[in-house]
């Protein structure tokens, strides 16, 4: 699972400090991550998987983990439901996950752009896939101390995960090494979105 940025921000040695990102977004830093902790890239990988796990749990779905990322899959989302159609018993779909920092440019507009390399593009879009694939990018603030906020109403995760079906990828021209994807910000990875993708997976072999 590749990450856009891997360096750890400077450690903030006080709590409840106001951190400002962009012109209008003000967030409270709740903790400092000590030097020697997990690298920022590993933290981003863990929180993106945790996000998927949380949403899948709320949708009544389970996750299958992969030990390697060579297949272009970070996690498989699986249902235990029988959708009463050919191939509709316990369907599943694969997820390729990315995670990046929120910045002023990517925060604006109705879409989010991400460049995928040729091998990833070919794996996610392969026409002979036995399981459909979905590509997802999680966008978070740079400072880990503002990723989560706890209050009397519960836990707020300051993150958005945008997704795009592999079948909706633009074509990769011959000889081109990468392709920029445009992910609509309306494509939020919610429990409803997961259930919709799962229903589509259940129907892919139906006549």
Q: Domain range for residue 73?
A: 40-141+159-202
With respect to residue 1, please indicate whether it lies within any of the assigned structural domains: no
With respect to residue 32, please indicate whether it lies within any of the assigned structural domains: no
With respect to residue 31, please indicate whether it lies within any of the assigned structural domains: no
With respect to residue 48, please indicate whether it lies within any of the assigned structural domains: yes
With respect to residue 136, please indicate whether it lies within any of the assigned structural domains: yes
Q: What is the CATH number of the domain that holds 73?
A: 3.40.1350.10
CA gap 95, 101 in Å, rounded: 20
CA gap 66, 76 in Å, rounded: 8
Number of domains within the chain: 1
CA atoms within 13 A on the CB side of 178: 7
Q: How many residues does the chain have?
A: 207
Q: pLDDT tens-digit profile of 145-177? A: 889 888 888 888 889 999 999 999 999 999 999
With respect to residue 90, please indicate whether it lies within any of the assigned structural domains: yes
Task: Yes or no: say if 72 and 96 are a contact pair by the CB < 8 Å rule.
Answer: yes
With respect to residue 21, please indicate whether it lies within any of the assigned structural domains: no
The predicted model scores a pTM of: 0.83
Task: Yes or no: say if 130 and 92 are a contact pair by the CB < 8 Å rule.
Answer: no
| Residue 155 pLDDT | 85
Q: pLDDT tens-digit profile of 42-58? A: 999 999 999 999 999 99
Low-confidence ranges of the chain (pLDDT < 50): 2-25, 104
| Residue 207 pLDDT | 57
With respect to residue 9, please indicate whether it lies within any of the assigned structural domains: no
| CA dihedral of residues 6, 46, 33, 21 (deg, nearest 10) | 60
| Residue 18 pLDDT | 35
CB neighbour list of residue 127: distance below 8 Å, 6 or more residues apart:
none
98 strand-pairing partners? 137
CA atoms within 13 A on the CB side of 157: 14
CA gap 107, 100 in Å, rounded: 12
| Residue 15 pLDDT | 34
Task: Yes or no: say if 140 and 162 are a contact pair by the CB < 8 Å rule.
Answer: no
């Amino acid at each position: 699972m590749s990450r856009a940025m891997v360096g750890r921000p400077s450690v903030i040695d006080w709590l409840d400090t106001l951190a400002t990102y962009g012109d209008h977004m003000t967030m409270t830093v709740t903790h400092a991550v000590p030097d020697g902790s997990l690298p920022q890239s590993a933290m981003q990988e863990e929180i993106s998987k945790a996000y998927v796990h949380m949403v899948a749990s709320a949708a009544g779905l389970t996750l299958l983990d992969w030990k390697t990322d060579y297949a272009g899959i970070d996690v498989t989302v699986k249902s235990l439901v029988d959708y009463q159609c050919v191939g509709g018993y316990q369907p599943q779909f694969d997820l390729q996950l990315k995670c990046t920092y929120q910045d002023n440019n990517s925060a604006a507009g109705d879409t989010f752009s991400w460049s995928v390399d040729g091998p990833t593009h070919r794996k996610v879009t392969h026409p002979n896939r036995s399981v459909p694939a979905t590509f997802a990018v999680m966008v978070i603030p740079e400072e880990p101390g503002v990723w989560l906020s706890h209050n009397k109403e519960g836990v707020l995760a300051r993150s958005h995960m945008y997704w795009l079906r592999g079948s909706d990828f633009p074509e990769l021209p011959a000889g081109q090494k990468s392709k920029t994807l445009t992910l609509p910000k309306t494509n939020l990875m919610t429990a409803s979105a997961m259930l919709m993708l799962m229903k589509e997976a259940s129907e892919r072999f139906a006549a």
